[in-house]
Amino acid sequence: MSDRDLEGWTIAFDLDGTLVDSAPDLIGTLNRMLVEEGLPPVPMESASTLIGSGARALLVHGFEAAGAPVERAKSDELFERFLVDYAAHIADGSQPFEGVVETLERLTARGAILVVATNKRSDLSELLLGKLDLTRHFADIVGPDRVSARKPSGAHLKEAVAIAGGDPERAIMVGDAAPDADAAKDAGMPCILTTFGFTPTPVEDLGGDVLIDAFEDVEEAIDGILSDFYVKRALKF
């Protein structure tokens, strides 16, 4: 096996719940919004049912969880306040999951292109990854505002891979929730799912190809997917 055996392959990573445990700051901002509205905060454990589809969805589901009218959560004014507060606290408590830096370094050394495909707005994703010193690992950071349709649409993944200079036919998705698994299916990409992320549906039921309990296991999962790919291709000839 050559040292750069992942040359020509792109790995697309989801952000929240895959690369970064961003629950403390997302739920922190949500709770400040709830308290300002005279509503009870939600417990940190509710992160898994609230995070995954972007900030607007987080606000709506958070207000629902607090028993408040969702109309209020949908207001632009509240959404703007949420974004300002979150940007100011984006890396107060958020941390990369264990093994992220080492694993991304190894994948890059093996020649893979790495890209972020997230439903978190691009500017906030850049801010968070910058503060955690993770930006240097990625060819690009692609939020929903930079593509024609967000996850669960496969367009998000295919366009993110292309923006990063990769080939969508030779790409693998790594995520933690239904929007990731569904987008991968829609794009025809193999999908690796973390079991330590945020998903209201049990991760076993999302239809991922491989589940990983630790971030560093992503490398072995990629190797398994690639060997299947090359075996199938060999059988076709």
Ligand X SMILES: O=C(O)COP(=O)(O)O
Chain positions 151 to 190 lying near Mg ion, rule: CB under 5 A, are 176-177
53 contributes a contact to ligand X by CB under 6 A: yes
* Contact flag: residue 10 with ligand X (CB under 6 A): no
Instruction: For residue 141, state whether it binds ligand X (rule: CB under 6 A).
Output: no
C-alpha distances out from residue 212 to 18, 32, 196, Å: 10, 33, 8
State the CB neighbour count (10 A cutoff) for residue 171: 26
Hey, which residues does 115 pair with through a beta bridge?
12, 140
User: With CB under 6 A as the contact rule, which of the stretches 12-20, 101-109, 212-220, 222-230 interacts with ligand X?
Assistant: 12-20
- Minimum CB distance to ligand X, residue 235 (Å): 35
For residue 17, state whether it binds Mg ion (rule: CB under 5 A): yes
Which residue do the tokens 């990625």 mark?
A: 138
**Distance in Å, CB of 96 to ligand X, minimum:** 13
CA-nearest of 110, 107, 126 to 15 is 126
Tell me, rounded to whole angstroms, the distance of Cα 84 from its chain centroid: 21
CA 118/CA 122 separation, integer angstroms: 8
Q: Which of 21, 54, 26 is nearest to 42 (CA)?
A: 26
Nearest approach, Cβ of residue 20 and ligand X (Å): 8
Asked if 25 interacts with ligand X (CB under 6 A), we say no
Residue among 34 and 47 whose Cβ is closer to Mg ion = 47
Q: Is 123 a catalytic residue?
A: no
Bridge partner list, 175: 193
Q: Does 194 contact ligand X by CB under 6 A? A: no
Return the structure tokens found at 223: 């190797």
With respect to ligand X, which residue has the nearer C-beta, 176 or 219?
A: 176
Query: How far apart are alpha carbons 101 and 133 in whole angstroms?
Result: 9
CB of 222 to ligand X, least distance (A): 19
Other CB atoms within 10 Å distance of the CB of residue 38: 7
Q: Mark the segment that binds Mg ion (CB under 5 A) among 15-23, 69-77, 95-103, 181-189.
A: 15-23
CA distance 230 to 106: 21
Exactly one of 5, 14, 145, 182 is catalytic; which is it?
14
Chain residues binding ligand X by CB under 6 A are 14-17, 51-54, 58, 118-120
Chain residues binding Mg ion by CB under 5 A are 14, 16-17, 52, 176-177
Residues belonging to the active site? 14
